[in-house]
Amino acid sequence: MDRVRPAKAGSERDRASLFADALLRLETAGVHADIDPEALERLKHPRRIVQVSIPVRMDDGYLRIFTGYRVLHDDTRGPAKGGIRFHPDVSVDEVKALALWMTFKCSVVGLPFGGGKGGVIVDPKSLSRLELERLSRGYIREIAPFIGPERDVPAPDVYTNSMIMGWMMDEYSHLNGERSPAVITGKPVSNGGSLGRDDATGRGAYLCIKELEQRRELRPEDTRVAIQGFGNAGQHVARLLHRDGYRIVAISDSQGGVMDPAGLDIPALASAKNAGLSAKSVYCLCSVHQCDLPRGQAISNAELLALDVDILIPAALENQITGDNVESVRAPVIVEVANGPTTSEADAVLDARGVLVVPDILANAGGVTVSYFEWLQSKSGDYWTLEKVHARLREIMCTEFAAVHERMEALGVSMRTAAYVHALDRLGAAISSQGTHNYFGNEQA
C-alpha cells in the first residue's frame, strides 16, 4: 500500500482516536452478534504491547536509537498474525488499532490466526541499504522473545517488503539456532516465500469486486474506477481490473495523481512509476504524477476521492475518508484495500446515503490469506504451485464474501457491521469455549 497522508483538517483528532474508532465498530457489531459480554470485553483490550529501543550504527559512524512496537491483540484462535511497518508517523495507538483489525480480518476469512501488528518510527527512504538492514535485524533482535511460528508471525506492511522480511527471518534464525522460515511471511520466493504473495492483497480485493460484478450486473467496460494509492496493492488491483476491461479513470500516490475519463493505460503507468526505483534504495521514489504519458491531467488526492466514479478504491492508509470530506465522496461503491481508510463518522454518512462499503477486514484479506498459505508451506516444506495458491485464495475470498453479503442483507446493516458480526461469531465461540461467567458462575454446570 502506498502512503497517502490524511487531509490536514481534523487529521490529528482522527489519528489520536484511531483505536477508539476501531472499538466503535466492535461495539456496533456486538449489538447484532450472538456473543457473551465477557468475550466482547476481552476483545476490547490488547493482550500485549511491547515497546523497544533499537540502536543502529549509521553509515557516518554515529549511533541512532529508533523506537519500535509490537502489539498482540488476541491469539485465542491461533498465533498472532500481522505486518511490520516502517514510517515516521507510526504510533502505539495506530499499531493497537491495526492489531485489532488483524484479529477480525483473520476471523472473517476463517484463518486460524489472531491479530498482531508492529512498526518502527523511521523515514526508511532516508536510510541506505546497509542502515535499513541493520534496523530490520535490530528490530527482530529486540522483539524475538515475543514472536515465533506458533506465537506471533510478522509480515510486510507499509514500507517493508520481501527483502526486509528475508533479513528478519534470517536474524531470527540466527538467534534461534536453526532455520525458522515459518516465523515470517512475505519472504522472497527464493528464500521460502510463497508464489502469489506479491499480488495477494490486490487480488483479494479484485475477487471481491468480481463478486459485486455478478450481484450488481456490472459491465466492466462501463464501470469507472478510481484508486487512491499506487503502491503494491493498488498497482495489482488496478492491473487485474484493467485486464478485465474496467475503466480505471484515476490513480494517485503520495505526491498526487493523474486522471483520464477515457481510461488510463495502467501497464504503462506502472512501468513508468516503477522505473523510478532508485539505484541506492529498495523503494520506488517516483510518483505517478511525474510519469510522462501522452494523456491525462494531474489531480490531487482530495480531488480523486471526490470523483464521480462507480467504484472508489482507497489503497493507501487510514483516515482518508473522514467527517471532513465525506460529503464530497460521490462513488456508490467503496472497496477498502487500505486498512482503516474510512472513519466511523464518515461510515454513518455513507451508510445513510446507501453507499456500499466493502470493508477492509474483508476486501484486503487476500494478503493475510496467502500469508497463511506461506506459513503452512514453510512449516511443511511442501511448496505450492501458483495455480493452487490462486485457486485456494479464490475459494476463501468468494465463500466469505458471500457469507458476509448474506449476513448484511439478513440483518439490514452495513457490510462492515456484517463482516464484524461474521468474525465475532467465530471469535466469541473460541473465547467462550475457555469459559465465561455463564459457565463458572453456574453451580449446576
Percent of the chain with pLDDT over 70: 91
Give the pLDDT of residue 291: 52
Q: Report the pLDDT value the prediction gives residue 317, as an integer from 0 to 100.
A: 79
pLDDT of residue 293: 53
Residue 249 placed within a domain: no
In a domain, 177, yes or no: yes
Does residue 404 belong to any structural domain of this protein?
A: no
Lowest model confidence (mean pLDDT) among 33-47, 197-211, 242-256, 292-306: 292-306
Separation CA 215–CA 212 (nearest Å): 5
Q: Which amino acid is at 134?
A: R
How much is the pTM?
A: 0.90
Q: What is the CATH number of the domain that holds 184?
A: 3.40.50.10860
- Is residue 251 assigned to a domain? no
The pLDDT of residue 231 is 86
Which pLDDT value is given to residue 14?
45
Convert the pLDDT of each residue in 308-324 to its tens digit: 999 999 998 789 999 99
**Catalytic residue status for 273:** no
The total of structural domains in the chain comes to 1
Report the residue count for the chain. 445
Of the candidates 81, 117, 187, 273, the residue annotated as catalytic is: 117
Residue 443 banded pLDDT, cuts 50, 70, 90 = low
Domain membership flag for residue 149: yes
Grid coordinates representing 336 are 477498502
**Residue at 384: amino acid letter:** W
* Structural domain of 119: 48-191
pLDDT digits (tens, 9 = 90+) for 380-399: 999 999 999 999 999 999 99
Residue 61 lies in a domain: yes
Q: What is the Cβ-side half-sphere exposure of residue 76, based on CA atoms within 13 angstroms?
A: 25
- The grid coordinates of residue 300 equal 490531487
What CA–CA distance (Å, rounded) separates 102 from 157? 12
The answer to whether position 62 is within a domain reads yes
168 lies in a domain? yes
C-alpha cell of residue 304: 480523486
